[in-house]
Amino acid sequence: MSRIGKKPVELPSGVSASVSGQTIEVKGPKGARSFTATDDVTITVDGNVVSVTPRGMSKRARQQWGMSRTMVANLVAGVTEGFKKELEITGVGYRANAQGNTLKLNLGYSHDVDFAVPAGVTVSTPKQTEIVVEGIDQQQVGEVAAKIREWRSPEPYKGKGIRYKGEFIFRKDGKKK
């Protein structure tokens, strides 16, 4: 039995959900998102509660049960609060600047990196060494943050690069005589 799947998903005030077939659509103050579940689970909406139940007790049905419930919970969280990833830039002369739909990164290359921000995600720079990625789709927010980090991953000797806020970088000693 799935401990996660058994829990119903509460819909806060201002959020509505509708099911058509295997697709659930959730609308809230930040926008609308939808998720299509597999045929192994059944999604039902009762008032302000969404519940997911398996159609059988096969291994696949039980796997999809907990995953589908988590996906529905992420839809509700996305349209109410949204998701946020924070990045820190460490290194002499490394900086970022958000200009409209483009993020300009100065990361020690011979040229500045212009990162085009996809639709549905907003990128802001409160400081030159901080980047905040926000949106209603958790997967898209994480993917954009990972692509930005990929331009200059933190290196283990001096710790220079782009890291997630609170990320620990294992440091190595340099050459020894």
Is there a single domain that holds both residue 91 and residue 76?
no
Q: Is the pLDDT of residue 2 over 80?
A: no
Domain boundary among 62, 80, 98: 80
Q: Is 172 among the domain residues?
A: no
Instruction: Please tell me the predicted confidence (pLDDT) of residue 1.
Output: 64
Q: Is 13 among the domain residues?
A: yes
Is there a single domain that holds both residue 61 and residue 46?
yes
pLDDT per residue over 74-93, tens digit each? 999 999 999 999 999 999 99
Is there a single domain that holds both residue 73 and residue 90?
no
Number of domains in the chain: 2
> Could you tell me the residue range of the domain that residue 23 belongs to?
3-80
Residue 140 to residue 67: CA distance in whole angstroms? 18
Which pLDDT band holds residue 9 (cuts at 50, 70, 90)? very high
User: Could you give the 3-state DSSP secondary structure of residue 87?
Assistant: strand
Q: Is 175 among the domain residues?
A: no
Instruction: Please tell me the predicted confidence (pLDDT) of residue 3.
Output: 84
Is there a single domain that holds both residue 56 and residue 118?
no
Q: Is 173 among the domain residues?
A: no
Is there a single domain that holds both residue 69 and residue 88?
no
Residue 61 makes CB contacts below 8 A (sequence gap 6+) with 40, 41, 54, 55
Q: Is 174 among the domain residues?
A: no
Is there a single domain that holds both residue 69 and residue 132?
no
Residue 71 to residue 41: CA distance in whole angstroms? 13
- CATH code of 145's domain: 3.90.930.12
Is there a single domain that holds both residue 61 and residue 132?
no
